Structure 1
Amino acid sequence: MTDVKSAFNDLWLAPGLRTPFAKGGGVYAKQSAMSLSIPVAQAMHAKARPDFLIWGQVIPDATMSNIARELVYEAGLDPTIPAFSTVLACSTSFVGVIQAAGMIGHGGTHLALVGGVETMSHIPIALKTEAADRIIAQFAMDPAAALAALAKLNADDLNLPTGGWTNKQSGRSQGEHTEDTAKLYAISREEQDRRALLSHQGAIKGQDSGFFNDLVLPVAGVDHDTIPRRDTSLEKLAKLKPVFDRSEKGTITAGNASPITDGAASIWVGDGEGLKRLGNPPAVKLVDWEIAAMRYNEEGILMAPARAIPRLLSRHKLKFADIALWEIHEAFAAQVLANIKAASDPAYRREKAGVDFDLGEFPWERVNPHGGSLSIGHPFAATGARILSQAAKELSAMPSGSRAIVSVCADGGQGTVALLEAA
């Protein structure tokens, strides 16, 4: 390791709890972001009082400006715990961990509770600014007239999510952008389906072996992730039709893309003193991290990890083979394959990542051993805490000095990557 490590030599991640993940519109259809967050926060708080709490939500709730602080009250936590919210698309609770790491050891803090939640079953509909201003002005002068005006609103007065979750700059969805990526990097449909199948097989293996038992907290009558498919196969995946590019050139389907998902997840971030409060649970060192950003229209909106991974590895003089575990967020199978293909290309590393360092061959057999977002699900703000907790549990069972890379791509052309090490 280089001297970089010395700056982060007492930062630790301990696995947190999460709800089972479930498809949007399913078993959690009547749950809110708060109702999914409360049992997770209560169970974590029962283990130890954090010095502060960070919580995130990507799809906003208009009734809450700071879901983290509202969670402290709604969950009945110690009200003297400071709490603030954060957001970075799919990397929301991941960047919350990085924020917490920057605060630990300062201001008398030793332990942070970080997490996130998404209820993708519920999509807010907002008034357009002109309509909202008109109604609010009427309420000030004549509440009865304002209520009557509300009843007369039409579609032109509303911001309707008719395009689904589209990027504001491009007006296109992540799936449409990733179709561009798949074509640019010649990622075949068969490769994508195979990666999806491996994800489901890993998740089912984890459920059968009990790997998830101490990570998943039963909530609302659900005690396990409901998305992993025991009966899926390459043949079944091959029968699904493309959903973003419906021409003969389309390759992304409902089977090789992460599903709309509801769920909440958490993780602990602390120093040695913080771990003592938790009873010294299995934990891993947070060695270093990298946040990358790029132009969204260059090669696809989810390709920033291809820049971040080489930068982080080269900073520590590590090759791909030096990493025992790779936990990579599976927004789309094509995005995982394309990011690694790009990061493995010396020309790409030099030109896009600014790294001239030989990383060697990539060990695909070390990727997501217990499944990823394709099979487990992807509640935007919860995914970072889920994937980091999963990696921390997997890595803590490996020999001392074993390393992991955790990577999450995010809408807007951004990505977060962390280097972890077993104690």
Structure 2
Amino acid sequence: MAENMPRRVAIVGGARIPFCRSNTKYSHQSNQDLLTASFKALSEKYKLAGKQIGEVAGGAVLKHARDFNLTREAVLGTDLDPHTPAFDVQQACGTSLEATLLIANKIAMGQIDCGIAGGVDTTSDAPIAINEDLRKILLDVNRAKTGGERAKLLAKLRPRHLVPNFPGVSEPRTGLSMGEHCELMAKEWKISRKAQDELAVASHKAAAQAYVDGFYDDLVFPYLGVERDNNMRPDTSVEQLAKLKPAFDKENGTLTAANSTPLTDGASSVFLCSEEYAEANNLPVQAFFTPYSRTAAVDFVDGGEGLLMSPTYAVADMLDAAGLTLQDFDFYEIHEAFAAQVLCTLKAWESKKYCKERLGRDTPLGSIDTSKLNVKGSSVALGHPFAATGTRIVATLAKILDENGGGRGLISICAAGGQGVTAILEKP
């Protein structure tokens, strides 16, 4: 290999703790607690104790001020060599896939030989800020030069200033929640309630069957007495889900609590290295990253585009770069932010009008074989700790390809702010 040629990036494998519904088993755990637990599981799985890793990248969406150096602090809480550097990343729901790509790129360019990527989120321990007016008063008090000035400022305090600011769930540019945006998409693409419920049920059944088959035995590690994701409902049915009321548009909506991802706590991580490092250290290689990953964004404010439609752009660009068609994959991992989001994406790829006007293509990307979609369950069933979903998917798809004896897999993740992150994994 020429000295300046990119190296192949191997995915050794991943580890995560069970994902749990918000305010259940992990109610009193912090981001640092959960991410550290995931890193510890990965270290135990691959015997990394005492080893200096090239670099670790991770992050969370909901962060306290104390989490300014979250990933590094989590590393210091493990048995990895403390000389291992780490940094934080944040790209909403695409955070840990983006972190994985950053580590993969450093390996490919020869800057490091191995690295870890991960992500975590807990809505149970969400940061609660003080009232904005109170914050400004307190800052002015801190700037005051005399006791008299401070007393005058403190005299402005009123009971309303004691009302805290809870984390927002709406898009700053529109004031609409992600669910409300997805409702608009579902209406635009005429996605039925039944189709969404069917996809949700399929996700639950696939996830539960994967546990029965032992697929998650070496991917999900017990934590605080929890052994598996506690959102799964293997006995659910379309008939049961049909009884639920809409969650975002009470009158005419089709999105419900059951065909949307629940608020979730959890953490996940993956171990990557160069092909040479894997061989020298006798490490398994489940799959390889290709160099075709793409990110994209849509104009959901003034351009009339769906907030969660950016993966359609990213995948189209990625396929062109790789010289592949949408049908050239053995497995598809499309993050189920909402069942409707997945269905909108699939329908857009089939639309000649959309692909022409939005993606600039003369022909549509076409349909996929849905029997190859999210075959071990996805976010609707397993849960969605925002920043942890990317590395959950990478670890899952790498193992699927390994057990399949080879193949090619596509990853597609939508993210807040009208963004999307995609990747292709291969196993020769």
TM-score by length of 1: 0.91
- C-alpha separation in 2, matches of 1:26 and 1:296: 34
Q: In structure 2, give the amino acid aligned to 1:348.
A: Y
Could you say which residue in structure 2 is the equivalent of 1:355? 361
CA contact (8 A) 2:129 2:166 kept: no
Work out whether 1:135 is the aligned partner of 2:138.
yes
- Once the two structures are TM-superposed, the CA of residue 157 in structure 1 deviates from its matched residue by 6.1
CA contact (8 A) 2:260 2:380 kept: yes
- Once the two structures are TM-superposed, the CA of residue 320 in structure 1 deviates from its matched residue by 2.6
SS of the residue corresponding to residue 64 of structure 1 reads helix
Structure 1 357/275 Cα, relative in aligned 2: closer, same or farther at 3 Å? farther
Structure 1 56/348 Cα, relative in aligned 2: closer, same or farther at 3 Å? same
Structure 1 151/230 Cα, relative in aligned 2: closer, same or farther at 3 Å? farther
CA contact (8 A) 1:310 1:355 kept: no
SS of the residue corresponding to residue 264 of structure 1 reads strand
Higher mean displacement: 209-218 or 133-142: 133-142
Work out whether 1:275 is the aligned partner of 2:281.
no
Structure 1 188/43 Cα, relative in aligned 2: closer, same or farther at 3 Å? same
Could you say which residue in structure 1 is the equivalent of 2:413? 408
- C-alpha separation in 1, matches of 2:248 and 2:91: 24
- C-alpha separation in 1, matches of 2:279 and 2:43: 15
Could you say which residue in structure 1 is the equivalent of 2:388? 382
Superposition map of 1:5-404 within 5 A: 10-46=8-44, 47-48=47-48, 49=51, 50-106=53-109, 108-138=111-141, 154-156=159-161, 160-161=165-166, 164-247=168-251, 249-276=252-279, 279-287=282-290, 288-297=292-301, 298-356=304-362, 359-400=365-406, 402-404=407-409
CA contact (8 A) 1:20 1:222 kept: yes
Residues 275-327 of structure 1 show CA distances to partners (whole Å, capped at 9, x for unaligned) of: 24663223211112010111124232111011111221233232232100001
- C-alpha separation in 2, matches of 1:192 and 1:271: 40
- C-alpha separation in 1, matches of 2:345 and 2:212: 30
CA contact (8 A) 1:296 1:413 kept: yes
- Once the two structures are TM-superposed, the CA of residue 212 in structure 1 deviates from its matched residue by 0.4
Structure 1 155/356 Cα, relative in aligned 2: closer, same or farther at 3 Å? farther
SS of the residue corresponding to residue 380 of structure 2 reads helix
- C-alpha separation in 2, matches of 1:356 and 1:113: 40
Could you say which residue in structure 2 is the equivalent of 1:3? none
RMSD: 2.5
Higher mean displacement: 223-232 or 98-107: 98-107
SS of the residue corresponding to residue 179 of structure 2 reads helix
- Once the two structures are TM-superposed, the CA of residue 44 in structure 1 deviates from its matched residue by 2.3
- Once the two structures are TM-superposed, the CA of residue 357 in structure 1 deviates from its matched residue by 5.2
Structure 1 188/8 Cα, relative in aligned 2: closer, same or farther at 3 Å? farther
Structure 1 367/120 Cα, relative in aligned 2: closer, same or farther at 3 Å? same
Structure 1 394/341 Cα, relative in aligned 2: closer, same or farther at 3 Å? same
- C-alpha separation in 2, matches of 1:344 and 1:245: 27
SS of the residue corresponding to residue 326 of structure 1 reads strand
CA contact (8 A) 1:305 1:415 kept: yes
Structure 1 75/158 Cα, relative in aligned 2: closer, same or farther at 3 Å? farther
- Once the two structures are TM-superposed, the CA of residue 78 in structure 1 deviates from its matched residue by 1.9
Q: In structure 1, give the amino acid aligned to 2:423.
A: A
SS of the residue corresponding to residue 65 of structure 2 reads coil
Structure 1 199/260 Cα, relative in aligned 2: closer, same or farther at 3 Å? same
- C-alpha separation in 2, matches of 1:211 and 1:182: 33
Structure 1 261/253 Cα, relative in aligned 2: closer, same or farther at 3 Å? same
Residues 33-64 of structure 1 show CA distances to partners (whole Å, capped at 9, x for unaligned) of: 11111222123234233211111010011112
SS of the residue corresponding to residue 66 of structure 2 reads coil
CA contact (8 A) 1:8 1:286 kept: no
Structure 1 344/239 Cα, relative in aligned 2: closer, same or farther at 3 Å? same
Q: In structure 2, give the amino acid aligned to 1:189.
A: R
SS of the residue corresponding to residue 127 of structure 1 reads coil
Higher mean displacement: 194-203 or 102-111: 102-111
Q: In structure 2, give the amino acid aligned to 1:410.
A: A
- Once the two structures are TM-superposed, the CA of residue 67 in structure 1 deviates from its matched residue by 0.5
CA contact (8 A) 1:408 1:416 kept: yes
CA contact (8 A) 2:13 2:272 kept: no
The unaligned stretches of length 5 or more in structure 1 are 1-5
SS of the residue corresponding to residue 65 of structure 1 reads helix
- C-alpha separation in 2, matches of 1:317 and 1:255: 37
TM-score by length of 2: 0.90
Q: In structure 1, give the amino acid aligned to 2:242.
A: A
- C-alpha separation in 1, matches of 2:385 and 2:174: 22
- C-alpha separation in 1, matches of 2:60 and 2:414: 16
CA contact (8 A) 2:200 2:259 kept: yes
CA contact (8 A) 1:405 1:417 kept: yes
Structure 1 257/107 Cα, relative in aligned 2: closer, same or farther at 3 Å? same
- Once the two structures are TM-superposed, the CA of residue 273 in structure 1 deviates from its matched residue by 3.0
CA contact (8 A) 1:86 1:96 kept: yes
- Once the two structures are TM-superposed, the CA of residue 151 in structure 1 deviates from its matched residue by 13
Residues 343-373 of structure 1 show CA distances to partners (whole Å, capped at 9, x for unaligned) of: 2223322321233455443211110011000
- C-alpha separation in 2, matches of 1:359 and 1:365: 18
- Once the two structures are TM-superposed, the CA of residue 105 in structure 1 deviates from its matched residue by 4.4
SS of the residue corresponding to residue 235 of structure 2 reads coil
- C-alpha separation in 2, matches of 1:184 and 1:29: 38
